[in-house]
Amino acid sequence: MAKKSAQESMETPMMKQYQAIKDQYPDAFLFYRIGDFYELFNDDAVKGSQLLELTLTARNHNSADPIPMCGVPHHAVQNYIDILVDHGEKVAICEQMEDPTLAKGMVKREVIQLVTPGTRMETGVTGAKVNNYLAGFTKQAAGFGFAYADVSTGELQTANLTTFDAVLNEVMAVEAKEIVVDDTIDDALRAQFKPLGILVSTQTDITTSAELSFLTQDLTDHAETAAVSMLLSYMEGTQKRNLSHLQRAIAYEPSYFLKMDHYAKRNLELATNIRTGKKSGTLLWLLDETKTAMGGRLLKQWLDRPLLSVEAINARQDKVAELLEHYFERSNLQDELVKVYDLERLAGRVAFGNVNGRDLIQLKTSLKQVPKIKYVLEELNQTVFGDLLKGLDPVDDVADLIERAVDDEPPISVTDGGVIKDGYDQQLDAYRDAMKNGKQWIAELEAKERKETGISTLKIGYNRVFGYYIEVTKANLSKLPEDRYERKQTLTNAERFSTPELKEKETLILEAQEKSTALEYQLFNKIREVVKAAIGRLQRLAKVVASLDVLQSFAVVSENYRFVRPQLTTDHDLEIEAGRHPVVEKVLGKQEYVPNDVRMDDDTTVLLITGPNMSGKSTYMRQLALTVIMAQMGCFVPAKSAVMPVFDQIFTRIGAADDLISGNSTFMVEMQEANDALMHATANSLLLFDEIGRGTATYDGMALAQAIIEYVHDHVHAKTLFSTHYHELTDLEDSLTTLKNIHVGAVEENGQLVFLHQIQPGPADKSYGIHVAKLAGMPTDLLTRAANILQELEAHAGETPTPVNVDAPLQEAVDATPKATPTEQLALFDVPSGDPKMAAVIDELKQMNLMAMTPMDVMNKFYEIQQKLQ
């Protein structure tokens, strides 16, 4: 037989249909339903078999060029879809739209949903406390319209942002898995998301509908409306179903919340551990004692956007204080919250039409807890909890309907019966009675026939092809009276028969069963529509329950870790007594952690921190930032007492990391972050600068560090913590009136360097670099060589070198290390006598007005000077 060509193989009716559908979704894996399997063909099959670890086979083996294919069973498809989406892929689900046995010709097929990283509904247990956001933005005349939504919960928010950096920051803040853009966004901007692993999709056609008008009715800004319209059009196009659970778009202004860019959130490890990339070891990990999935998601949102309103912060803290003082009521509240399922995502499943009987039972169980939660709150101060009490709508009508209608242990499928309770519908009860009586008649007929024929193995069975039948083994056929039964089917070892009476009963039973199943599905759909009409009420209830959950979580951690309520002031006084880094303390244990004060009155804007590595400078800086964030979230704070202002922004330059987005070096990232802080910080901001200038040459770094400190002091006036190893900078206390020196103490005990981890006034007076290396266990030969190099460098700088014996007791080595002379500044350059070019450079340097320059200007100028010197 001649082999078919590849072209002939592709021109079969089925493959033509497949290719026509695939052409509509070129960037997605097409899961093409054939019977009980979803099949993948061609490139989808080759790539899919690798990602899903499937066996790659081929269609039309006898062709000259067989078509690659692989498949997955329909009942397990969700797992395979999740794997592909986790890899950042899209999956188009193509279903059979008619019964193959009734189809005339090719079975009609359509894509019923396009699942993408930003639109999937099923998140699994691990994703219960995590929002799955889809974001989108479009370029407008005055900036960018930005919007984001969670298809599974219905949340929809939008903002007008002035710069692309602001867009990028918001995308990373909400941890969007997918970004939707239109033709106004060029390839250069789209490329910024690739290093972050965010899928970029395009939506050019805007759908106009009554639903879109409803969701955007509260928006007045054109850019916001455009972004929401684009995002909704994409969701409608991919989901291909009702999105009635989407909530009306809410416009927000990022400046209404404590501002932190993604660098600050990363540096402070708010939700992601820098080392592991996981939640463990973060502030979110510490604060999360929530009992519901909704509460867990809301906690993350509060952490991302702490408040600026003193009134709103105090309102939250009042509730935390009340719960903290009432242990038994709080325990009762927790007991009820544990029984509340994810109301937001249940509402989403109802709107999507994929809710089943078990989902409705979960909804009923959740609603039954609301009166109990309400009772607990009524036992507390109703003035404090009045707003939440008003929002605790038990949605009684829905709960009662589910109680009356849905079986307490329904099957997963809603089309095979067994979902609706007996007694809910008279007609359904009649069908069920007919089925029950019919099956009883069948059992009685079997007993009767066995007795009359004397064949004890005679049985009456059923299958979908032949219906009910009487089966007799061939060994017993001789015992049958002639013409007693009508022959129906012949098997290897038996014969199957029927009778007119059995056929009549079969018709009655099957008709009742078929009608019963169909009626049950109709009844279930009516129940689902009633629940669907209550989606708005359910979503409002979910917000109240989630808020209660987060507040009780704050109370629990405040009690467990000895947090106190901070006093918020309207001036710039900051006084934290015995403050602690809550996460480090939890890891080390409260016996090991050394608390520290932070005192910055209105006359102190900069704390210059010196001390050796590993002593705790960075921890001290981070703990202040975390204390500020916790306070403005509405939580209590890790301290003995705390008086603090409300900060509007937090800027950080902590740690060393390259910029994955732009590919910039560590030093460039350092300068960009510093510049961003200096350009945008206000007197109400908090700045944390850790070792600024260490990424470049010593003199360059020192000059930049000093210029930055002076600029902050003279122009920004923000509360600033600045740690450094440039001990020469400690002299700035003499010239900058609102700068104070502090240092982390270290002492020698029994020949070993011991870090006190305690903040003390004044500058550090010793350098411990080589000795810290010794504590780290570096080889003695290496340490000796380092000591010799240090002596040579000091001699070259014009200092009298002092021998450092690394084998001597540590205190002797420490004392031998030259101390910085506080009255002298290091010369930036040694100018050779009589060199006019060098003299010209120095004159240029002297004439520079550093106070009128930004740190970035200083850096550029020094680079220019460096090039001249070389």
State the binding site for ATP: 611-618
Query: What is the distance between the alpha carbons of residues 508 and 522, in angstroms, rounded to a whole number?
Result: 21
Q: What is each CA distance from 138 to 45, 159, 439, in whole angstroms?
A: 35, 11, 65
- DSSP-assigned beta bridge partners for residue 794: none
Query: What is the distance between the alpha carbons of residues 369 and 639, in angstroms, rounded to a whole number?
Result: 36
- Length of the chain in residues, anyone? 870
**CB 552 within 8 Å of CB 337:** yes
**CB 722 within 8 Å of CB 707:** no
SS3 141: coil
Query: What is the distance between the alpha carbons of residues 539 and 246, in angstroms, rounded to a whole number?
Result: 10
Binding site: which residues? 611-618
306 φ/ψ angles, rounded to the nearest 5 degrees: -65, 155
The set of residues, in sequence order, having a beta carbon less than 8 Å from that of 781 and lying 6+ positions away, is none
**CB 293 within 8 Å of CB 343:** no
The set of residues, in sequence order, having a beta carbon less than 8 Å from that of 544 and lying 6+ positions away, is 388, 391, 392
DSSP β-ladder status, 28-34 and 90-96: parallel
What angle, rounded to 10 degrees, do the helices at 535-560 and 293-304 form?
A: 70
What angle, rounded to 10 degrees, do the helices at 343-352 and 357-378 form?
A: 150
Query: What is the distance between the alpha carbons of residues 354 and 152, in angstroms, rounded to a whole number?
Result: 12
**CB 144 within 8 Å of CB 164:** yes
Q: What is each CA distance from 803 to 216, 752, 757, 784, 809, in whole angstroms?
A: 75, 19, 29, 10, 14
**CB 474 within 8 Å of CB 494:** yes
- CA angle (686, 687, 693) in 5-degree steps: 175
Query: What is the distance between the alpha carbons of residues 493 and 562, in angstroms, rounded to a whole number?
Result: 79
Alpha helices in 59-100 (DSSP H): 77-86
Query: What is the distance between the alpha carbons of residues 617 and 610, in angstroms, rounded to a whole number?
Result: 8
Give the H or E element holding residue 773: helix 769-775
Query: What is the distance between the alpha carbons of residues 691 and 490, in angstroms, rounded to a whole number?
Result: 89
Q: Give residue for tokens 């009883």.
A: 440
Q: What is each CA distance from 135 to 234, 263, 299, 791, in whole angstroms?
A: 11, 20, 20, 57
Which two structure tokens, joined as six digits, stand for 118?
Answer: 């930003």
